[in-house]
């Protein structure tokens, strides 16, 4: 009897050893094949293109999830050779199936990122004329998030399809039926989330805002740094971040300085005395613009736009290719125009005139006029 038990254990031991050996061989072969395939893919270059970033992007995004797909597939082929007890065989197959579908979901999500990288490769936001690039990037970010959400739902459905237990489905259906009131409560609580999601869909296709747009929101000037399915991140000029719900851009007014083009007009105002020659200021303003690389040579105008009892208002109108350079150019013009007035017409700064009426011998007022700077 002991000999029979020993023989049985020896036989099962040989089967286990054979099964584990086959699994190890399958894993090694799958890793070897995976490594060879991606090495060949990385070395492949079309003759007409020395640099082919498409293959590099595909390799970077798909290599790791594909490795796990290959390993789990190889284990699945070798699994029938392992003498698993019948009580645990079904559980083992389901566990392996869950892992395989999780790896498949990882591969699908990585594929979405790969497609996004490939589509955005030719749209550079750093270029001077980046309107189309910002439009495409904004739409692609929103579509990527929606696609990943749908893929996660599909992957969860595939995992649930592994369980054929009618009791599980029966209890699940009962749970869903009894959760009707709870779903209404959750729907009410998720009203803002749903409104933000719909607002994001509307923003992505109506292009109210785009990535890298220059906006003024609630008095804050900044650039659109990120658009999620719930909120927008605005990088303020002083390196702070303003977090604004998506629905805000549908329900409220705001300024978008790069809606159609990035080039802008800017103004610098001067307040000077009536005695200053305007033509001299106009010539100096033109000289300042022509000497600055920030001017895009579109608009150059100096005009008297208002008069008061003490000063006249002179507007220096200029243009630049983007808001940052426009702000710097306005500051440069303001500083150099003030410096020009200080050196050439120091008396022309705003001043107050008054008369000192002194009584003469004959009782008449003696005229006296003096200008005192404020």
CATH assignment at residue 288:
3.30.70.100
Average pLDDT, the chain: 76
Residue 6, in any domain of the structure: no
Same domain, 306 and 252: no
The last residue of a domain, from among 146, 168, 191: 191
What is the DSSP annotation of 218-245?
TTEEEEEEEE-SSEEEEEETTS-EEEEE
Same domain, 160 and 213: no
Give the mean pLDDT of 223-238.
87
Same domain, 274 and 296: yes
Whether 367 has a pLDDT exceeding 50, the answer reads no
Same domain, 67 and 167: yes
Give the long-range contacts of residues 196-199, CB within 8 A, separation 24 or more: 196/229, 196/230, 196/231, 196/245, 196/246, 196/247, 197/229, 197/230, 197/246, 199/245, 199/246, 199/247, 199/249, 199/250
270 or 355, greater pLDDT: 270
Give the mean pLDDT of 205-211.
81
State how many domains the chain has: 3
Residue 199, in any domain of the structure: yes
* pLDDT for the residue 50: 46
- Which of 122-126, 170-174, 325-329 has the lowest average pLDDT? 170-174
Same domain, 186 and 200: no
* pLDDT for the residue 356: 58
- Which of 18-27, 57-66, 181-190, 234-243 has the lowest average pLDDT? 181-190
Please tell me the distance from the alpha carbon of residue 289 to that of residue 329, in angstroms, as a whole number.
8
Judge residue 268's burial from the number of C-beta atoms within 10 Å of its C-beta, 0-12 exposed, 13-18 middle, 19 or more buried. Answer: buried
Give the mean pLDDT of 351-372.
52
Percent of the chain's residues with pLDDT above 90: 21
Number of continuous H segments (helices) and E segments (strands) in the chain: 10, 12
Residue 372, in any domain of the structure: no
Same domain, 45 and 91: yes
Please tell me the distance from the alpha carbon of residue 246 to that of residue 203, in angstroms, as a whole number.
8
Angle at 156 between CA 153 and CA 158, to 5 degrees: 110
Same domain, 187 and 199: no
Helix (H, G, I), strand (E, B) or coil at 82: coil
* pLDDT for the residue 8: 43
Residue 56, in any domain of the structure: yes
Range of the domain at 209: 195-256
The last residue of a domain, from among 191, 220, 243: 191
Residue 1, in any domain of the structure: no
pTM reported for the whole predicted model: 0.52
CATH assignment at residue 246: 2.30.30.60
The last residue of a domain, from among 232, 256, 280: 256
Same domain, 63 and 155: yes
Same domain, 24 and 36: yes
Judge residue 201's burial from the number of C-beta atoms within 10 Å of its C-beta, 0-12 exposed, 13-18 middle, 19 or more buried. Answer: middle
Same domain, 313 and 333: yes
Same domain, 171 and 53: yes
Whether 195 has a pLDDT exceeding 70, the answer reads no
Task: Report pLDDT digits (tens) over 289-313.
Answer: 999 999 999 999 999 999 988 889 9
Same domain, 179 and 85: yes
**What's phi and psi for 231, nearest 5 deg?**
-150, 170
CB 256 within 8 A of CB 203: no
Whether 184 has a pLDDT exceeding 80, the answer reads no
């Amino acid at each position: 009897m002991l000999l029979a038990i020993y023989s049985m254990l020896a036989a099962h031991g040989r089967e286990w050893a054979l099964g584990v050996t086959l699994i190890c061989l399958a894993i090694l072969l799958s890793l070897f094949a995976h490594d060879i395939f991606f090495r060949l893919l990385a070395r492949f270059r079309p003759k007409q293109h020395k640099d082919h970033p498409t293959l590099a992007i595909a390799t970077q995004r798909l290599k790791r999830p594909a490795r796990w797909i290959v390993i789990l597939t190889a284990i699945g082929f070798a699994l029938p050779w392992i003498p698993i007890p019948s009580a645990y065989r079904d559980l083992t197959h389901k566990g392996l199936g869950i892992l395989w579908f999780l790896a498949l979901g990882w591969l699908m999500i990585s594929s979405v990122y790969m497609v996004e990288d490939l589509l955005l490769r030719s749209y550079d936001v750093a270029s001077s004329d980046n309107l189309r690039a910002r439009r495409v990037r904004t739409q692609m970010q929103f579509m990527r998030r929606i696609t990943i959400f749908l893929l996660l739902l599909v992957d969860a459905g595939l995992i649930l399809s592994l369980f054929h237990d009618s009791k599980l489905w029966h209890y699940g259906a009962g749970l869903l039926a009894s959760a009707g009131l709870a779903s209404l409560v959750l729907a009410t609580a998720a009203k803002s989330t749903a409104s933000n999601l719909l607002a994001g869909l509307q923003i992505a296709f109506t292009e109210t805002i785009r990535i890298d747009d220059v906006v003024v929101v609630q008095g804050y000037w900044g650039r659109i740094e990120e658009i999620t399915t719930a909120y927008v991140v605005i990088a303020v000029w002083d390196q702070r971040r303003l977090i604004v719900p998506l629905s805000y851009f549908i329900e409220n007014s705001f300024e978008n300085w790069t809606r159609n083009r990035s080039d802008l007009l800017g103004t610098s105002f001067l307040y000077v005395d009536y005695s200053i020659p305007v033509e001299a200021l106009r010539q100096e303003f033109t000289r300042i613009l022509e000497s600055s690389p920030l001017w895009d040579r579109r608009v150059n105008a100096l005009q008297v736009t208002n008069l008061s009892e003490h000063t006249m208002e002179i507007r220096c109108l200029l243009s630049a290719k983007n808001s940052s350079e426009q702000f710097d150019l306005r500051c440069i013009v303001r500083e150099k125009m003030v410096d020009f007035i200080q050196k050439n017409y120091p008396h022309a700064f705003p001043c107050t005139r008054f008369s000192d009426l002194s009584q003469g011998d004959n009782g008449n007022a003696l005229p006296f006029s003096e200008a005192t700077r404020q």
